[in-house]
Amino acid sequence: MQNQPVAVDNPLPPSPNPPSSSTVKPTELRRDVSIWGSFTWGYADVGADVYVALGLVIGAAQGAAPLAFLVAGIVYILVGLAHTELAAAYPVSGGGQYYTLRGLGDFIGLITGAALLLDYTICISLFAVASAGYINFFFPVIQTYSTSIGPFKDVNLIWAAESLSLIGLLALLNIRGIRESSLFNELIGATDMILETIVVLFGFLFAWKPAMVVTQYNTAFPTTEKFFYAVSVAIISYVGLESISQAAQETRRPASIIPRTSIALIIVVLLFALSFPVLALGILPWDTIAKREGDPVAALAHEIPYIGFLAGHVAAILGATIVLISANTGVMGASRLTYSMGEFQLVSPWFNAVHKKYHTPVRSIIFFCGIAAIQAIFAFLSGKGAMDMLVNMYAFGATLAYLLVFVAFIALRNKDPHAPRPYKVPLNIRAFGMELPVLAIIGLIATGGMLGIVLWTHPLGRIAGPGWVIFWMIAYCLYRKKNKLPLLGNIKRDWEKDHIAILTSAEEFEYLEQYKMALEKKAVTRG
Amino acid sequence: MSLEISLLGALISLFFILVLSGTLWWMLHPHAFVTQAAAKARQSVLAVKKIMVPTVGLPHTERSVELACRLGRKQMAEIYLIYILEVPRTMPLGVPLSDAEKEAEAALERATQIVLLHNLPMQKLIHRARVAGDDIAKLAKDMEMDMIVLGIQEEAGSHIDPLNKTANAILKIASCEVIIDKLPSS
């Protein structure tokens, strides 16, 4: 049984026997995420992208950095619109994994889930490390500290310990429940957005020189390979939208709220993602920013009149907070995604256990925070190369997952036309007896191209990324074989019944009635 | 400190803040929560896709056309305008009734203008029958109508509205939803 809705106030009594793989009855996640909470889950990744990726993108794209962000932004809009439609139509916690499972079957659902899990665990480790790095702005001694452990040189043990502590803190916070971590996101998200807006406004008003942007574009255009590398790094901000989908099952009235938060996020993402590189290249030479890969926003803010004297401190606080909530988004995403995959018997139901007191998927949280901690340890043991590996794998996971989501999107439009779609991506045509969403087809081609770019420009991504997916495929095959479930086929599911349960649970009664009427009409048509 | 403010920079700042604040305001104002009972009521009306409106060319029947259009506007319902020519049993159904047919066409033309104002899909039909009410109910069933909207007016003085008896027949026989719009005698 899938997605059996159970009121939170009336949870299922504990089963006297451990549930078998086919009789899992999970307690439903609490619906505590508000509009602002839903938005800030996604926004966390956007802000983090600016703090972590701005220097990297400008370093590679040089004077063409705004163009690199724009190219990535166009693909991002297409991905965003598809996710908006799907998250509103299917407000469950699986996100891309659920859409591909429903549209393309169990095995593809597993691959998408594995790609997204890769992104979420790296999100935790990468941004926890970055957050600790920004905290160390106030403790320069720690920044310069290093030691040797056996064959590993220049290991910053204190920074590593800080990062691991942050991962542990986030794990505890998420085990306590989504209400607490959502509130955490909401407050920090709001503060960060205000502060980023001040930087942008003051920057454009008092320090920005348009001629400098044009000059740098004309004189410092990168090579083709560097430009595409920059585009693929800029793409990491996509994961923000997936986070909104991941929180769908805990969002109040998701079908009504998610289209708004998702579309708002697309617009806000573009505003910030395009503003910062344009602003940066109008204030500083590209190579100056490139040299400040660790704190490009601080370097930028330092040049702005009135607020420049506070630049270092403000940027450090901003950086530490926004990347920390991004890491928190990773914890939430990984645990919710595994919860969904467990429900659908793509991974062991062992992950499904919900904390008796807090109703949160405690095992998933601990497991993936543990993996993130291991990734962070490897990062510190390997130096800068490990950070590159994390970014490489991040880009691989995102583009693979979004490619499969576009295929599922097109399939679901035709396989499940009766599901109410509170938001529908425009530009659709009928041909060959099918509904063809033009923008999704363009998005499919674009993300396919992006995946090609990632494999071309990220040597580690093309090895470690597929390696991770193959690992989960092997685990999937072993689990399905052990439980005598189809390996490449699908478990039979009553999607219509599940969908009614989802909409009922979400209290989306308008869409529920629409769906019931559509099903009745379908039944009459079929006689 | 001397400050140089570029016009383009100021415009970008203004654009940035307007788009950001407008987007967030829109996001934070979703439509109100709807209970299941209310949702069911709303959706059952939105499910009305085919509305039949009998007309006899009198003002109150034309008003019923306007009412039907407003009922069906949100869901783009198809409006079926129908004029029943009642033929007495003393005459064959195919008897020439050119004056009555012209009157029917004129009535349907006026009703059509009302529907066109709402940009709704429509069909119109002149149908001969012995008893209007029975025929309207039968046509509604055959044509799988979701609703019949019928305008009637209180009988006053010597003027007798033929739709009053029709209304009774439709209410008894029709298998779809029926809305009777009864106007007081003016």
For chain A, the average pLDDT equals: 83
Helices A178-206 + A311-343 axis angle, to 10: 140
Closest CA of chain A from B122, distance in Å: 22
Residues 6+ apart with CB under 8 A from A205: B5, B9, B10, B13
Give residue A16's pLDDT: 33
**In the structure encoding, which two tokens stand for residue A355, read together?**
């904390």
Residues of B in contact with A251 (CB under 8 A): none
What are A135-171's pLDDT values in tens digits? 887 787 887 788 888 888 888 888 889 999 999 999 9
Tell me whether B30 touches chain A (CB under 8 Å): yes
Residues of A in contact with B38 (CB under 8 A): 509
Tokens at A516, concatenated: 């019931």
Q: Which of B17, B33, B34 is closest, CB to CB, to A201?
A: B17
Q: Which two tokens stand for residue A192?
A: 């960060």
* Residues within 8 A of B (CB atoms), A 431-470 only: none
pLDDT band at A386 (very low <50, low <70, confident <90, very high): low
Q: Which two tokens stand for residue A191?
A: 């503060």
Identify from B27, B34, B40 which residue to disrupt to test chain A contact, counting A C-beta atoms within 10 A and taking the largest count: B27
Predicted local confidence at residue A22, as pLDDT:
38
Q: What is the pLDDT of residues A172-187, one digit of tens each?
A: 988 887 555 667 777 7
- Distance, CA of A223 to CA of A218 (rounded, Å): 13
- For residue B81, what pLDDT band results from cuts at 50, 70 and 90? very high
| pLDDT value of residue A496 | 92
User: Residues near A477 by Cβ (< 8 Å), separated by ≥ 6?
Assistant: A487
Predicted confidence (pLDDT) at residue A321 exceeds the cutoff of 50: yes
Residue A214 at interface with chain B, using a CB cutoff of 8 Å: no
Is B14 within 8 Å of chain A by CB? Answer: no
- Residue A93 — pLDDT band, cuts 50, 70, 90? confident
Tell me whether residue A526 is exposed, middle or buried, using C-beta atoms within 10 angstroms of its C-beta: 0 to 12, 13 to 18, 19 or more.
exposed
CB contact under 8 A, A261 and B33: no
Chain B nearest C-alpha distance from A180 (Å): 21
CATH says B38-183 is which class? Answer: alpha beta
Let me know if residue A20 belongs to a domain. Answer: no
Residue of B nearest to A269 (CA): B20
| pLDDT of A19 | 36
Note whether residue A518 is domain-resident.
Answer: no
User: Worst-scoring range by mean pLDDT, A106-120, A461-475, B59-73?
Assistant: A461-475
Residue contact B13–A205, C-beta within 8 A: yes
Residues of A in contact with B23 (CB under 8 A): 264, 267-268
Residue with tokens 């803190």: A169
Alpha-carbon distance A350 to A366, whole Å? 12
At residue A20 the predicted structure's pLDDT band, cuts being 50, 70 and 90, is very low
Q: Contact B27/A264, CB-based, under 8 Å?
A: yes
Quote the domain boundaries for residue A198: 70-86+93-493
Q: How far is B50 from chain A (nearest CA, A)?
A: 14
Pair of tokens at residue A351? 């992950």
The amino acid at A122? I
- Find out whether A62 and A280 touch, Cβ atoms under 8 Å: no
Percent residues over pLDDT 90 in chain A: 35
Using CA atoms, how far residue A359 sits from A179, A183, A277, A300, A327, in Å, is 11, 17, 42, 43, 21
**Cα–Cα distance, B122 to B117 (Å, whole number):** 12
Contact map slice: A 27-86 vs B, CB within 8 A: 35-36, 39
Specify whether the CB–CB gap between A91 and A249 falls below 8 A: yes
Contact A35 B17 (CB under 8 A): no
User: Directed axis angle between helix A178-206 and helix B7-27, to 10°?
Assistant: 160
Q: Are A216 and A285 in contact (CB under 8 A)?
A: yes
Which residues on adjacent β-strands are paired with residue A430? A435
Task: Tell me how many residue pairs between chain A and chain B have CB atoms under 8 A apart.
Answer: 83
B10: contact with A, CB 8 A cutoff: yes
Residue A233 within a domain: yes
Position A1 pLDDT exceeds 50: no
- What pLDDT score does A221 carry? 94
Report the pLDDT averaged over residues B50-75: 94
Residue A274 domain flag: yes
The predicted pLDDT at position A17 comes to 34
State whether A208 and B6 contact (CB < 8 Å).
yes
Q: Where are the domains of chain B?
A: 38-183
More confident residue, A447 or A10: A447
Among B19, B23, B35, whose Cβ lies nearest the Cβ of A509?
A: B35
Q: Between the ranges A2-16, A420-434, B13-27, where is the mean pLDDT highest? A: B13-27
Give the percent of chain A with pLDDT over 70. Answer: 88
pLDDT at B123: 96
- Decide if A442 is inside a domain: yes
Q: What's the half-sphere exposure (Cβ side, CA atoms, 13 Å) at B68? A: 38
Indicate the average pLDDT of chain B: 89
Provide, as residue numbers in chain A, all residues whose Cβ is less than 8 Å from the Cβ of B31.
Answer: 256
- Reported as a single tens digit per residue, the pLDDT across A394-430 is 888 888 999 999 999 999 999 999 999 989 999 999 8
Nearest chain A CA: its distance from B72 CA (Å)? 16
User: Which residues of chain B have a CB within 8 Å of the CB of A260?
Assistant: 26-27, 30
Per-residue pLDDT band at A387 (split at 50, 70, 90): low
Q: CA nearest B10 in A: which residue?
A: A205
Do strands B122-129 and B147-153 pair parallel, antiparallel, or not at all (unpaired)?
A: unpaired
Residue A509 to residue B5, Cβ atoms within 8 A: no
> Per-residue pLDDT averaged across A92-98, rounded?
84
**pLDDT tens-digit readout, B110-163:** 999 999 999 999 999 999 999 899 999 999 999 999 999 999 887 655 455 555
DSSP code of residue A349: G
A150's CB contacts (< 8 A; 6+ apart) are none
More confident residue, A217 or A47: A217
Domain count, chain A: 1
Is residue A417 packed enough to be buried (19+ CB in 10 Å), middle (13-18) or exposed (0-12)?
exposed
ipTM of the complex: 0.79
| Domain annotation covers residue A376 | yes
CA B75 vs CA A418, B47, B121: distances in Å: 16, 8, 11
Pairing relationship of beta strands B122-129 and A434-437 according to DSSP bridges = unpaired
A264 touches chain B (CB under 8 A): yes
* Residue carrying structure tokens 């009928």: A430
Q: Reduced to 3 states, what is the DSSP secondary structure of residue A519?
A: helix
Model confidence pLDDT, tens digit, residues A490-514: 999 999 999 999 888 888 888 898 8
Closest C-alpha among A493, A499, A498 to residue A514:
A499
Q: Report pLDDT digits (tens) over A284-306.
A: 999 988 877 666 777 788 888 88
Nearest-CA distance A484 → chain B (Å): 41
- The CATH number of residue A387's host domain is 1.20.1740.10
Residues 6 or more apart whose CB falls under 8 angstroms from that of A200 comprise A272, A275, A276, A279, B13, B16
Choose, out of A201, A265, A279, the residue to mutate when testing the contact with B (most B CBs < 10 Å). Answer: A201
Task: Determine the Cα–Cα distance for residues A224 and A494; give it in Å rounded to an integer.
Answer: 49
Chain-chain contact of B35 with A275 (C-beta, under 8 angstroms): no
| Per-residue confidence (pLDDT) for residue A441, from 0 to 100 | 96
